[in-house]
């Protein structure tokens, strides 16, 4: 081989090495330039040199072609990987040993509110502005140990994120990923956990006060009051009232849990509203009379819904109970109903104390009471409207309320119409 051919060959090797290195760094243009350079040099050698140098040039041209095929394959694989990582429900971030971003998927971008544009190649600490995440990354890269952190974000939305970081296997080249972060949005889980804790605290609190009452009354009776006929009767009446409250609470809790778990199937059938409301009103007579509250029914005679009779009774009696409890002395209640396409809309209006606007969206929550003291005094636990909501929604209907403080409220719901 001539000196010239030897020089050319060395140049070709250098060109391929450049191509290989740039490909590993993910720099496609550099790679193609390297490959092009090698082909060019091959041709140049082919033209000038002869014999073994020409064969070497051809071999190198073939190698270049194979290299290009491999690049195409790698590019396709990289595309597939990006598509998979982008379709994940979790955010994924990969960094190299220097903390340079190698991969950021769409979810990570969205939840961390990262800047637009290509982030690969930029320092993670510069792009990710959240101190707990920066600290997790720093520790991950220095201590090289798995770590889980939870952090709360307030912008652009309130989110709770759980971030799991894992160091990658020690790799020989510094260009590979050194650590991967997986980001999970656990906001809903946190909310449910909080609701569950609140629920347990509320139930315990509500059970505690009647139980404490019953215990202290019983102790007083046992301590001697039982021999005093007048007092013992009064105490027994109080015990009776407290046990009724306990029984009511347990009954409401059971109804709610059955509705929420969907354990009880709905037995929907044709129910005429007017006779149903009339019979319910008779059972409410003892509560209406002492407060001199009057009720008028404005329900078309044969208007019917397709509903579970027991649920319908629960809905109407809870709304009626509230319309009486939160009414003024001598107030009025109107029960109206009308067909609206496939649905029947029922309105229960009262001339009561009303509900302030900020409380209105919350009255359907379990245990929510506008005036806790007043409601409890009236025997309420704040479960009635939660039951109404579940029962209505189990039929596919919706429920809402309008109210003007000091003037009154209207609770409305829809149920499927029956022909
Ligand atoms: N018609 C109404 N007028 C004014 N306030 C109402 C009316 N209905 C409900 N509220 C308010 O909404 C709260 C929640 O009502 P809900 O029926 O769920 O509970 P409750 O009546 O307190 O207790 P429970 O129904 O479990 O006996 C009530 O405590 C009351 O503050
Ligand atoms: Mg109620």
Rounded-to-integer distance, Cα 8 and Cα 337, Å: 95
User: For 82-99, b where at least 16 C-beta lie within 10 A, e where not — what string?
Assistant: eeebeeeebbbbbbbbeb
Token digits of residue 409: 């409220």
Q: Examine the domain organization and report whether 128 and 63 are in the same domain.
A: no
Q: Examine the domain organization and report whether 159 and 108 are in the same domain.
A: yes
pLDDT value of residue 345: 98
Q: What is the β-pairing status of strands 147-153 and 159-167?
A: antiparallel
Report the atom number in ligand 1 closest to the C-alpha of 411: 1
Query: Domain with 197 in it: what CATH number?
Result: 1.10.287.130
203, 314, 326: residue to mutate for ligand 1 pocket, most atoms within 8 A of CB:
326
Q: Examine the domain organization and report whether 273 and 243 are in the same domain.
A: no
Output the CA 253–ligand 2 centroid distance in Å.
13
Residues lining ligand 1, judged by CB closer than 6 Å? 252, 318, 322-323, 326, 350, 352-355, 363, 368-371, 375, 380-386, 409
**Residue of the CA atom closest to atom 17 of ligand 1:** 384
Report the atom number in ligand 1 closest to the C-alpha of 382: 19
**Structural domain count of the chain:** 4
**Vertex 187: Cα angle to 182 and 188 (nearest 5):** 120
Q: Examine the domain organization and report whether 273 and 409 are in the same domain.
A: yes
Domain holding 292, by residue range, is: 266-419
Strand partners, 349: 334, 410
Domain boundary among 209, 240, 264: 264
Q: Examine the domain organization and report whether 221 and 249 are in the same domain.
A: yes
Token digits of residue 136: 């997790």
pLDDT value of residue 354: 96
Q: What is the β-pairing status of strands 159-167 and 179-185?
A: antiparallel
Q: Examine the domain organization and report whether 317 and 371 are in the same domain.
A: yes
Rounded-to-integer distance, Cα 62 and Cα 73, Å: 17
3-state SS, one letter per residue, for 182-221: EEEECHHHHHHHHHHHHHHHHHHHHHHHHHHHHHHHHHHH
Q: Examine the domain organization and report whether 109 and 195 are in the same domain.
A: no
Q: Examine the domain organization and report whether 150 and 27 are in the same domain.
A: no
Tens of pLDDT along the chain (419 residues)? Answer: 444 544 444 444 444 444 444 444 444 444 455 555 555 555 555 555 578 888 888 999 999 999 999 999 999 998 888 888 888 889 999 999 889 999 999 999 999 989 888 999 999 999 998 888 888 888 888 988 888 999 998 877 889 999 999 988 665 455 678 899 999 999 999 999 988 898 898 899 889 988 999 999 999 999 988 898 888 999 999 999 999 989 988 988 988 888 888 777 899 999 999 999 999 999 999 999 999 999 999 999 999 999 999 999 999 999 999 999 999 999 999 999 999 999 999 999 999 999 999 999 999 999 899 987 777 777 778 899 999 999 999 999 999 999 999 999 999 999 999 98
Query: Domain with 120 in it: what CATH number?
Result: 3.30.450.20
Ligand (nearest to CA of 378): 1
Domain boundary among 211, 243, 264: 264
375, 388, 390: residue to mutate for ligand 1 pocket, most atoms within 8 A of CB:
375
Output the CA 395–ligand 1 centroid distance in Å.
22
250, 385, 388, 390: residue to mutate for ligand 1 pocket, most atoms within 8 A of CB:
385
**Vertex 101: Cα angle to 98 and 107 (nearest 5):** 145
Domain boundary among 47, 66, 85: 85
Q: Examine the domain organization and report whether 273 and 254 are in the same domain.
A: no
pLDDT value of residue 34: 52
Q: Examine the domain organization and report whether 318 and 418 are in the same domain.
A: yes
Q: How many CB atoms lie within 10 A of CB 266?
A: 16
The answer to pTM > 0.75 is no
């Amino acid at each position: 081989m001539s000196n010239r051919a030897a020089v050319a060959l060395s140049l070709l090797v250098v060109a391929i090495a450049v191509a290989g290195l740039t490909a590993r760094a993910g720099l496609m243009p550099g790679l193609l330039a390297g490959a092009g350079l090698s082909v060019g040099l091959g041709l140049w050698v082919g033209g000038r040199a002869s014999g073994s140098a020409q064969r070497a040039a051809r071999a190198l041209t073939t190698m270049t072609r194979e290299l290009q095929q491999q690049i195409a394959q790698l590019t396709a694989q990289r595309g597939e990987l990006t598509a998979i990582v982008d379709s994940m429900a979790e955010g994924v971030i990969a960094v190299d040993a220097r903390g340079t971003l190698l991969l950021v998927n769409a979810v990570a971008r969205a939840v961390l509110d990262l800047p637009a544009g290509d982030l690969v190649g930029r320092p993670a600490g510069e792009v990710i502005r959240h101190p707990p995440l920066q600290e997790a990354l720093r520790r991950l890269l220095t201590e090289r140990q798995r770590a889980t952190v939870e952090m709360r974000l307030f912008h652009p939305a309130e989110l709770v994120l759980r971030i799991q970081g894992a160091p990658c296997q020690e790799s020989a080249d510094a260009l590979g990923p050194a650590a991967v972060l997986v980001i999970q949005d656990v906001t809903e889980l946190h909310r449910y956990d909080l609701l569950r804790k609140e629920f347990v605290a509320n139930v315990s609190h509500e059970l505690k006060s009647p139980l404490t009452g019953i215990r202290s009354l019983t102790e007083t009776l046992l301590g001697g009051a039982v021999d005093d006929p007048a007092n013992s009767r009064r105490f027994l009446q109080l015990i009776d009232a407290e046990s009724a409250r306990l029984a009511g609470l347990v009954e409401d809790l059971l109804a709610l849990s059955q509705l929420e778990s969907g354990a009880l199937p709905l037995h929907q059938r044709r129910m005429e509203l007017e006779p149903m409301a009339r019979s319910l009103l008779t059972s409410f007579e003892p509560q209406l009379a002492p407060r001199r509250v009057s009720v008028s029914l404005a329900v078309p005679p044969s208007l019917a819904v397709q509903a579970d009779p027991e649920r319908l009774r629960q809905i109407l009696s809870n709304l009626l109970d509230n319309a009486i409890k939160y009414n003024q002395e001598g107030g009025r209640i109107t029960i109206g109903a009308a067909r609206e396409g496939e649905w029947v809309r029922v309105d229960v209006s009262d001339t009561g104390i009303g509900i302030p606007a900020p409380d209105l969206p919350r009255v359907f929550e379990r245990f929510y009471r506008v005036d806790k003291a007043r409601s409890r005094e009236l025997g309420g636990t704040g479960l009635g409207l939660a039951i109404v909501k579940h029962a209505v929604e189990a039929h596919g209907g919706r429920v809402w309320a309008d109210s003007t403080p000091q003037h009154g409220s209207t609770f409305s719901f829809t149920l499927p119409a029956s022909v």
